[in-house]
Structure 1
Amino acid sequence: MAIAFQFDTVIDEFLARSRELIGLESREDRPPRIGPAAANEPMPGERIRSLFTLDEDSIRRYARTIGDDNPLFTDPQYGRASIHGSQIAPGPILVHCRYPADHGASREHGYPLANFIGNVAWEFYDVVRPGTAVSTSKVLREVLEPRGARGGRILLLVCEVVYSDEFGKALAKAYGTLVQVPMKSMGESRAMPLESVDDSQLYERRPHRYQAGETEAILAGMQDEARRGAEPRYWEDVAVGEVLAPIVQPPYALPDALSYQSLHQGLVAGYGGGVLGRSFAPAYRAIKAGWGYPDFSRLHPVTQWPHTPGDEHEDAWLCGFRGQPLPFDFGIQRGQIPQRLIGNWAGDSGFCRKLSMAMGRPLFHGDALTVRGRVIAKRIDREGESGQRYHCAVVAMDAANQRGETVSRGYASVYLPSRGEGAPALPIPLARTPPYVPYDRHRSQEWF
């Protein structure tokens, strides 16, 4: 009983200290402040310049990290001939300008919590183009403790990230939910003792062994992927109940994880500011210095060498520290893949106005992914003080692995061209950045 009480006291401390951060500009993943203002904390809502450079190459590389080879994103010449007049980026590329989740309070050796991305909901106001200099503001908005599905405690940290261009015009907003799972097996720190790793799994899974028929079905799904492209999909031609052509991803593997890591950790500021060293001696020095978190380092069970929390995704020996039986995907990466479903269906003239994916169980290494969608509503939206008309279709999406287990669900609001009024007018006319949308609303179907 004393151990349980002590453990709950530690979790209560984390909750209380995290709630003190509500409304403050996040300290996470922002570049170093230089000059006379370096000692001053940024004010809530102050824009912080991202180190990530949006150019033709980084946009092309990003698209491929989510399995999207749409020429609108990968071929500048195609983009210049398109309705947009230039190559554009999938909207969720902005995660690389600032991560849409906040980890809450920290302390020396950390708190006994395993964290996972639970949901990312987007509002997009314009397309993202090469050359855009992005600034951000990230603020923790809510710290919640709903009832856990398994009877244990579950903590939700909800943040709001505003992404703006160099002129201060909002490009998008993300509402990110980080799920923090209290783990008694960790004791009082973030790094679980080695002797507890095998007894602390959140799921029971072995690597999937594919039969010939399963492999053939995946290949057929990849071959059958349909892209609308330059041919407009007119709102008048869309019917409620219409099923979108699914997208199929082959089994998730280490190169898929590294494609995301190389783009994100290699180019943008780490949690403590500055670009993280990810290999060899620079990595060792960065990890031992505890950049970003005092609990940054955990020892590899075999080599006894220090690694970061991010390495738990990719290493079969380290994944147990996060309570996982196998290496697993990045939820933030999985949540971006469905934009390909929307882009394929809506075509070059369509505009994804809202997009949200809630994460379920992880996609383990070796798991394939199929994303399906269905139109559930049509309507006319009005935006801005002028009441600009937009022809909207709402799509419900479901993503499942090869075992039929749902790994994410969500919705998208898509503005489509109209036969009578043409393509959606961009940017969306905003007098000011819209206010924060609370968690219980931005994750609901009604918000779309």
Structure 2
Amino acid sequence: MTAGTAEPTTDATNVAASETEARMPEAVIDQTMIANMEAKVGAELRIDHSVNNEEATRIAVAKFAGGIGDVNTLWTDAEYARRSDYGAPVAPPTFSIGCFSGIQFGWPGLGAFHCATQMDIAAPIYWNDTVTSSCRYDGFTGPRPSNFAGRMVTDSFTNEYINQLGEKVAEIRWQVVNYERGAARGKGKSRKIEVPHRWTVEEVEEVERKVLSEKPRGEVPLWWEDVEVGDALSSLTKGPIGLTDEVAFVAGGGAPIPRLKANASAALDYDSHPAWAFRDPVTKAKEPIYSVHYNQAAANAMGVAYQYDVGFQRQCWQILALSNWCGDNAWVKHVSAEYRGFVYLGDVIELGGEVTGKSQDDDGEYVVEVTTFARNQRGDNVMPGKGIIALPSRSDSISPVARRARAAESIRSRV
């Protein structure tokens, strides 16, 4: 039982610890495993079981926006969107992540953490667009020693997202650390922090007031000429992160690997792919490895003290913070982020950043470069990152969004 938690009395309370500790397959990295993975470099992966969305319907867009906590009515109010520079109802710039984000691949018996992402956002996804996702395995680095586990390797993948017109709407390059789970689980029992965090009622009420006070910039342009190097970005607060926050992200299309199923549907999957699941020590039901984000036994079996957030969920928060700051007429062109440390259930995260540069880029757009942070209540930056954002300029008659909307309309008119 994790320190600081209060548990009700149940029939499982008196079960021996050996019967209530979840176990997942454990392996060490050897030459056979390395050779098997080297043979897979460059492979286009089969991802049908982890594709969560392929059509940006009104409801799919609303569920995804709700699952990342995005309150901008641009994504859910069709009339407002038609009056915007998009000219039609549109999905959030992160919607491709809700179509497909990641996959469990290779390294049987090792634990895995998504550790970094680089994303290019190329074109808008409009309501009722169809998005076809693909994933390529680009290879790995390592093995190398780790302070957290015995040894680890880092995989690299590239996702592409193509709409029904053959237009690339986004590309994601992402990395996953794979580690020797047995060594990590042994080391993970010694923690210097208490989870979940002990909040007073007054403290969480103050956090909730801050959450409610933060609004997207909306239709008021943020002019490139008015932004200076050193300017602070607006803040975005998440938390205290609750179980439903994780469930909402999953329900909105975010990153279940494989797609979540129940009863016989799940049993057939787990029978074919035993590494996808483990047996919950209390309920005795099989649960997906992905449940580390909402099941404490799963998190503990991974060597982590408590349930924690999803890497791509955190990535969506970074892009949401930038979109809220720059407004509906600007375009987030590129982001990158590293996921350092865990965001546990009960944590509060403040996202923000600073403008570090401004220029006219090779596309002729007026852009700003920013650094970003995601800081928890302990003062840890759990997601340092960067971004490039195209802003409207008074010297340009068309906004970055309107430019992309016109390009999309031109493609649609020819098809």
The TM-score, its normalising length taken from structure 2, stands at 0.83
Aligned pairs (5 A) from 1:58-137: 58-99=60-101, 101-105=102-106, 110-111=108-109, 113-137=110-134
Find the aligned partners of 1:226 and 1:137 in 2 and give their Cα distance: 34
The residue that corresponds to 1:303 in the other structure is: 283
Q: 1:321 offset after TM fit, Å?
A: 1.4
What do the CA deviations read for 1:275-327 (whole angstroms, capped 9, x no partner)?
A: 642x34443x235423xx43122111123221110122211222211111111
Once residues 143 and 199 of structure 1 are traced to their aligned partners in structure 2, the CA distance between those partners, rounded to angstroms, is: 24
Letter in 1 for 2:81: G
> What are the Cα deviations for residues 4-49 of structure 1, in whole angstroms up to 9, with x where unaligned?
xx965x4443332222111110123458xxxxxxxxxxxxxxxxx9
Specify the alignment match of 1:375 in structure 2: 355
Q: Does 1:24 align with 2:21?
A: no
AA aligned opposite 2:179:
V
Match of 1:397 in 2: 372
Are 1:259 and 2:269 an aligned pair? no
Distance 1:260 1:247, change over 3 A: same
**Is this contact kept in 2: 1:50–1:134, CA < 8 A?**
no
- Report the CA distance shift for 1:428/1:75 in structure 2 as closer, same or farther (over 3 A): closer
Q: Give 1:97 deviation, angstroms.
A: 2.0
Change (3 A) 1:208 1:238: same
Task: Give, in whole Å, the separation in 1 of the partners of 2:73 and 2:372.
Answer: 23
Q: Which amino acid aligns with 1:211?
A: T
For the 8 Å contact 1:397–1:409, the answer to whether it is kept is yes
Structure 1 window deviating more from structure 2 (310-319 vs 360-369): it is 310-319
**Counterparts of 2:52 and 2:251, CA distance in 1:** 17
Counterpart of 2:318 in structure 1 is 338
Secondary structure of the structure 1 residue equivalent to 2:356: strand
SS of the residue corresponding to residue 198 of structure 2 reads: coil
1:143 corresponding residue in structure 2: 140
The one-character-per-residue Cα deviations of 1:325-383 (angstroms, maximum 9, x if unpaired) are 11111121111111121111111100000012210111111111110111011011123
Unaligned runs of 5+ in 2: 1-25, 409-415
Aligned to 1:350: 330
Q: Is residue 63–residue 251 contact of structure 2 (8 Å, CA) maintained in 1?
A: no
Match runs of 1:361-372 below 5 Å: 361-372=341-352
1:85 to 1:203, Cα distance in 2 relative to 1, 3 A: farther
Q: Which residue of 2 aligns with 1:423?
A: 399
Structure 1 residue runs of 4+, over 6 Å off?
427-430
Residues 259/167 of structure 1: CA separation in 2 closer, same or farther (3 Å cut):
same
The answer to whether the Cα contact below 8 Å between 1:229 and 1:344 also exists between their aligned partners in 2 is yes
- Take 2:42 and 2:405, find their aligned partners in 1: how far apart are those partners? 28
Contact 2:334 2:388 (8 Å CA) reproduced: yes
Which amino acid in structure 1 is aligned with residue 133 of structure 2?
T
Which of 194, 217, 220 is the matching residue for 1:228? Answer: 217
Report if the CA contact (8 A) 1:29-1:270 is conserved: no
Give the residue type in structure 1 aligned to 2:391.
Answer: L
Q: What fraction of aligned residue pairs are identical, expressed as a percent?
A: 23
Q: Paired residue for 2:171, among 170, 173, 176?
A: 173
- SS state at 2:329 partner: coil
Q: Alpha carbons of 1:102 and 1:415: their partners in 2 closer, same or farther (altered >3 Å)? A: same
Change (3 A) 1:428 1:137: farther
Q: AA paired with 2:105?
A: G
Q: Please say if residues 157 and 178 of structure 1, whose CA atoms lie closer than 8 Å, have aligned partners that are also in contact.
A: yes
Choose the corresponding residue for 1:13, options 27, 32, 35.
32
**What is the aligned length?**
378
- 1:289 corresponds to: 271
Quick check: 1:80–1:86 contact (8 Å CA) kept in 2? yes
Q: Is the 8 A contact 1:393 1:416 kept in 2?
A: yes
Report if the CA contact (8 A) 2:116-2:336 is conserved: yes
User: Which deviates the most, 304-313 or 197-206?
Assistant: 197-206
The 1:11–1:350 alpha-carbon spacing in structure 2 relative to 1, beyond 3 Å, is farther
CA contact (8 A) 2:339 2:384 kept: yes
Counterparts of 1:427-442 in structure 2, within 5 Å, are none
The answer as to whether partners of 2:54 and 2:132 remain within 8 angstroms in 1 is no
Question: Which region of structure 1 is more displaced relative to structure 2, 365-374 or 223-232?
Answer: 223-232
Q: Aligned partner of 2:242: which letter?
A: A
